[in-house]
Structure 1
Amino acid sequence: MTETQAAPALKEIFDWARLAHFARETAAIAPGFDAERFMSLATDNLDALGIMQRLRQTAVSFQATLPASYGEALEILDALAPRINHGFASIVLPEFVALCGQEHFDLSMRALHNFTRYGSAEFAIRHFLARDFERTLAVMIGWAEDDNEHVRRLASEGSRPRLPWSFNLKNLIADPAPTAPILEALKSDTSLYVRKSVANHLNDITKDNPDRVIERVGGWDLQDARTAWIVKHALRTLIKKGDARALHLIGSTGTPEVAVEHFAVKPARIQLGERVALEARMISTADSNQKLVVDYAIHYVKKSGTASRKVFKLKEIELAPAARTELSISQVVRDFTTRKHHAGHHRVELIVNGEVLSTSGFDLAL
């Protein structure tokens, strides 16, 4: 895909063809299924709906067309699960559980344990955490020991304090301690899929309770490569902020002893959609080797004329005494769903071990 080609909108995962696939496959499993009514309900005003709205509308359409008995409906969806032709689209199954299964706790927990193997139940489980936190969390702590990596990941991902695309779990934002048994069980998990979730869970916690995370991971065995990977990625927000404790935990040597010989952003002026390149050259002024975490920050101009700073990773390097290093990176400046650009001067900072050592910038014209 070229840079000028727009990726399909995520909501198109639940397009007419996918919904027709659901209807066709369900009718093949349950001959009495009213596929025509399902399609009428599921496609109603479809173009105007976002991805999560389409997800919920599809679950509601299943609720209206599957048997009224929750157990019977789950039997049909159990058979449907392996026939769905897209992993993310399979989250409609746990969404149905969240919609219809609140009064059937044990049956719903078994269903989510099964459905998450096909499409993550991370959104659905949060409705049960919100309704009956202690009972649901007890089940999830058990899931952290499951043989299946998708189930283990659900234990961590579903209990994140600030899961994207879902509502916050305010009690865990205030006090993240209840999920500690899950994180401890998964801190050296063999699955990268699970380890990414644990790192993201911990990173969520750093946004509200950084001291809790530093204390917890500071007691972990960082000689274990899998645990060390989790810790490095869990501390990314703190590292970008230059938190000395986080930098120390990943082996950074503290205050950088370097001289910046060159730092520039080229070209100095661009149009939206064009590329900027950053160049940096540094020399060590230290008497011993240094482990340096090099980042850069762009101060994006906002509509109001003020700026919003975003930090990006550049490179981690080990620099010997008097040694030089040259670094470069480039990126296209274009609009995203989460960021709209505005004309003006964009300041760019070179950051080493959390300290701003040099600045440059570029002018953006629309």
Structure 2
Amino acid sequence: MVDLEQLRSRKGAVRRSEIPSNVVTALNRGELETVNLVEFLIVDHVKLFRAVRPSLDLDDRAAKQIAATLKRLADEGVMQRLVQTGIAFHESLPDADRREVVYQQLAGHTSDTLRNWAAYMDAADAGMTFSKRLKRVRPFALDPNMGVREIAWMCVRLPAANEIVTQIEKLVPWAKQKHHYARRFAIELSRPCGVWTKHITELKQRPEVAETLLETCCTDESKYVQDSVANWLNDASKTRPDFVQSVCDRWLAEYDSPHTQRIAHRALRTLRKKSGGK
């Protein structure tokens, strides 16, 4: 019998071939969550859904529709699979009450992949307001699993990129929250370029829209948040070097903080490289 408690304390493998077979089996049964990107990419979503299906409040019609979607997407990239799986869950459950029941079952599951499916169910809801998206995404933004935290901002950005620009003031309270995961979410959600997601052209051209949000975290003690702020500015430096240089110069003059110094140094890395510096 597999000792799941022992497996939960494992250190993630560096290569797929190094993942123990009992870990792969437990991941595909929904008994474990992944601990790194290598494991995240090896999960068989078809097998996983088949294993957890009995625990979900799905009728046969909905279950068949979701299973067919997962099978069709088996050879697609993992992000495409997550997006389309969220759509499949949303569309196969037209009754709002039943959809919410399944959503909560996914959102509270041991498997981080199922929690990601829940997050993308909300992404598939075109009628959801930006404020409601922020409220609903909070548990995922604060999730202990790093992969779920990354999916959290992606599943808001995917359907609401334009609203990030027009309602960016709604992210400022997030940037002031005590939990550094929340602060990091606010910055990462609004990055001009981002990772594994479409760029926000307006923020690339007018990064000053986010200046108040960024300055809220310019002395942040958390390296997790510092890196996000620095990466945001480094993104912007590729299209608006003047803005980034000006902001960093001002922060360094106004804030006597080693955290600000670290952010500015990392934020200016692309500009230093272009000028021949280190």
TM-score range, shorter chain: 0.7 to 0.9
1:116 and 1:14 map into 2 onto residues whose CA distance is: 24
Q: Is the 8 A contact 2:90 2:121 kept in 1?
A: yes
Aligned mate of 1:170, from 201, 206, 227: 201
Corresponding position of 1:190: 221
Corresponding position of 1:206: 237
Aligned mate of 1:60, from 87, 91, 101: 87
Question: Which ranges in structure 1 are unaligned for 5 or more consecutive residues?
Answer: 244-352, 355-366
Q: Say which SS state the counterpart of residue 132 (structure 1) adopts.
A: helix
Q: Say which SS state the counterpart of residue 163 (structure 1) adopts.
A: coil
Aligned mate of 1:228, from 246, 254, 261: 261
Residue 13 of structure 1, CA deviation:
4.0
1:240 and 2:273 aligned? yes
1:94 and 2:119 aligned? yes
Say which one has the larger Rg.
1
Residue 207 of structure 1, CA deviation:
0.8
What is the Cα-based RMSD across aligned positions, in Å? 3.1
Question: Which ranges in structure 2 are unaligned for 5 or more consecutive residues?
Answer: 1-12, 20-37
What is the TM-score normalised by the length of structure 2?
0.73
CA gap 1:74/1:2 in 2 versus in 1, 3 angstroms: closer
What is the identity, as a one-letter code, of the residue corresponding to 1:63?
Answer: H
1:110 and 2:135 aligned? yes
Q: Is the 8 A contact 1:20 1:39 kept in 2?
A: no
Q: Say which SS state the counterpart of residue 64 (structure 1) adopts.
A: helix
Residue 187 of structure 1, CA deviation:
1.1
Q: Say which SS state the counterpart of residue 111 (structure 1) adopts.
A: helix
Corresponding position of 2:74: 47
Q: Say which SS state the counterpart of residue 23 (structure 1) adopts.
A: helix
Matches within 5 A, 1:320-359: 353=277
Corresponding position of 1:320: none
1:139 and 2:170 aligned? yes
1:188 and 1:20 map into 2 onto residues whose CA distance is: 47
CA gap 1:109/1:2 in 2 versus in 1, 3 angstroms: closer
1:15 and 2:45 aligned? yes
Q: Is the 8 A contact 1:144 1:186 kept in 2?
A: yes
Q: Say which SS state the counterpart of residue 188 (structure 1) adopts.
A: coil
CA gap 1:219/1:151 in 2 versus in 1, 3 angstroms: same
What is the identity, as a one-letter code, of the residue corresponding to 2:83?
Answer: R
Q: Is the 8 A contact 1:33 1:66 kept in 2?
A: no
Q: Is the 8 A contact 2:192 2:204 kept in 1?
A: yes
CA gap 1:4/1:153 in 2 versus in 1, 3 angstroms: closer
Aligned mate of 1:82, from 82, 104, 108: 108
Q: Is the 8 A contact 1:14 1:54 kept in 2?
A: no
What is the identity, as a one-letter code, of the residue corresponding to 2:219?
Answer: S
Residue 43 of structure 1, CA deviation:
2.0
- Equivalent pairs counted in the alignment come to 240
Q: Is the 8 A contact 2:66 2:89 kept in 1?
A: no
2:221 and 2:75 map into 1 onto residues whose CA distance is: 42
Q: Is the 8 A contact 2:16 2:42 kept in 1?
A: no
2:180 and 2:217 map into 1 onto residues whose CA distance is: 10
Residue 81 of structure 1, CA deviation:
2.1
1:37 and 1:78 map into 2 onto residues whose CA distance is: 20
Residue 82 of structure 1, CA deviation:
3.2
1:106 and 1:22 map into 2 onto residues whose CA distance is: 31
Q: Say which SS state the counterpart of residue 251 (structure 2) adopts.
A: coil
CA gap 1:47/1:72 in 2 versus in 1, 3 angstroms: closer
What is the identity, as a one-letter code, of the residue corresponding to 1:90?
Answer: R
Residue 138 of structure 1, CA deviation:
2.4
